[in-house]
Amino acid sequence: MWTLISASPSPYARKVRIALAEKGIPFTLQTEVPWDGATVTPQYNPLEKLPVLILDDGECVYESHYILEWLEAKHPEPALLPSDIDERLFAKKVEVVCDGMCDAMVIAFFERMREPGKQSEPWKARQMRKVEGGLRQLSTWVEKREGQYLIGDRLTIADLAIAAFLGWFAIRWSEHQWQSQYPKLKQYWEGLEALPHFKETRPSPQTIKDQVV
């Protein structure tokens, strides 16, 4: 059986967990804290990042957007990408924005972990601008949707990416007022979070023991 190296808050890993569940692929969930010295993550990814999908023959598939692409190629049903090429490319573009917002939040999170006198305010502001710009963009896209899903009438990686970012953002930065600022984005997100495979993969914070920055 495959193993997925994951972390309890990881929005990147959540995309993969939902995709595997949607495709009915059984796997063992191995929860790690990739920042702690004791993690096994570097044994499976030279970039030392999770998620990592470890196959039965020991091959490792890593980088969430690539894992999803790999899954679509190897296990195409049910598809998590639209058949129309422009819609497929749009779904991947949405994932680019969501992953980028996650990246910016990770950078800001660790900048805030530095001693107060050593934090760079311009650097933090730059990361938060990316999140604010991304929220505006997601809101614009979501307002144009017809039904429960962002693209067409079925779940795609675009929905996985948006819910993964917003679900993590809601616990990592609970004081941000995005839900009142963008009520239609909130309503769309809540609709996704009510789905079974989203419910069972809700993020939760983790304790990082070792010094990271």
> Which residues lie near ligand GTS (CB under 6 A)?
7, 9-10, 12-13, 34-35, 48-51, 63-65, 99, 106
Q: Which is nearer to ligand GTS, 34 or 182 (CB)?
A: 34
Closest distance of CB 51 from ligand GTS, Å:
6
| CA distance readout (Å), 86 to 93, 136, 163, 182 | 10, 22, 22, 26
What does the alpha-carbon distance between residue 33 and residue 135 come to, in Å, rounded to a whole number?
Answer: 27
| Residue 128 · residue 101 · CB < 8 Å | no
Q: How far is the CB of 146 from ligand GTS (least distance, A)?
A: 29
Q: How far is the CB of 70 from ligand GTS (least distance, A)?
A: 12
Distances (CA, A) of 77 to 23, 123, 167: 6, 42, 26
Identify which of residues 13 and 20 has a Cβ nearer to ligand GTS in the complex: 13
Q: Which of 46, 47, 37, 35 is nearest to 10 (CA)?
A: 35
Q: Which of 17, 23, 28, 26 is nearest to 73 (CA)?
A: 23
Nearest to ligand GTS of 7, 182 (CB atom): 7
DSSP strand pairing (2-6 vs 52-54): antiparallel
| 3-class SS of residue 149 | coil
- Cβ closest to ligand GTS, residue 50 vs residue 162: 50
Residue (145 or 170) nearer to ligand GTS, CB: 170
Q: Which is nearer to ligand GTS, 88 or 172 (CB)?
A: 172
Q: With H, G, I as helix, E, B as strand and everything else as coil, classify residue 41.
A: helix
Task: Report the nearest approach of ligand GTS to the CB of residue 60 (Å).
Answer: 12
To ligand GTS, the closest distance from the beta carbon of 6 in angstroms equals 8
CB of residue 117 vs ligand GTS: minimum separation in angstroms?
Answer: 25
What type of residue sits at position 190?
E
Tokens of residue 111, six digits = 């900048």
Question: CA 112 to CA 191: how far, in whole Å?
Answer: 32
